[in-house]
């Protein structure tokens, strides 16, 4: 069966510091991968998605970037964090095709001080 792992679960970073959040998927190959951000008490906003290695699409302009160095690895990064980058970051995967729902990891709680 497929599993998705995110780490770290919680992260506290100072303003201006760099960021790297990692997501890996097991049990499938060539998945579609997604990064979402969830503000407190709100729905999820799609940040990035990837349909293959090295292929990244950005949905909203922001201070973050994403990379996919391996088939089942998706990384969310920033060179300099802003206070507004605080939130709950969720990674998700799906197989290709129109009738394949997304499955989420347990998220990373990011607090910027």
The three-state DSSP-derived secondary structure of 74-93 is EEEEECCCCHHHCEEEEEEE
Least distance from another protein to the Cβ atom of residue 16, Å: 27
CA dist 38 → 22, 30, 43, 98 (Å): 17, 25, 6, 24
Q: Is residue 106 near another protein by the rule CB under 8 A?
A: yes
Considering only 57, 63, 70, 77, the residue that binds another protein (CB under 8 A) is 57
Q: Does 1 bind another protein (CB under 8 A)?
A: no
Q: Is 26 in the site for another protein (CB under 8 A)?
A: no
Pairing of strands 108-112, 10-13: parallel
Binding interface with another protein (CB under 8 A): 6, 32, 34, 41-46, 49-51, 57, 59, 90, 92, 94, 96, 98-107, 109
């Amino acid at each position: 069966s497929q599993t998705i792992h995110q780490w770290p679960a919680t992260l506290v970073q100072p303003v201006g510091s760099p960021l790297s959040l990692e997501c890996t998927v097991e049990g499938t190959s060539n998945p579609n991968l997604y990064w979402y951000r969830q503000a407190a008490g709100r729905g999820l906003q799609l940040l990035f998605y990837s349909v293959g290695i090295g292929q990244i699409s950005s949905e909203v302009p922001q201070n973050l970037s994403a990379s996919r160095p391996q088939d089942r690895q998706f990384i969310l990064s920033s060179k300099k964090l802003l206070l507004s980058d605080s939130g709950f970051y969720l990674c998700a995967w799906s197989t290709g095709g129109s009738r394949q729902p997304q499955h989420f990891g347990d998220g990373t709680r990011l607090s910027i001080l």
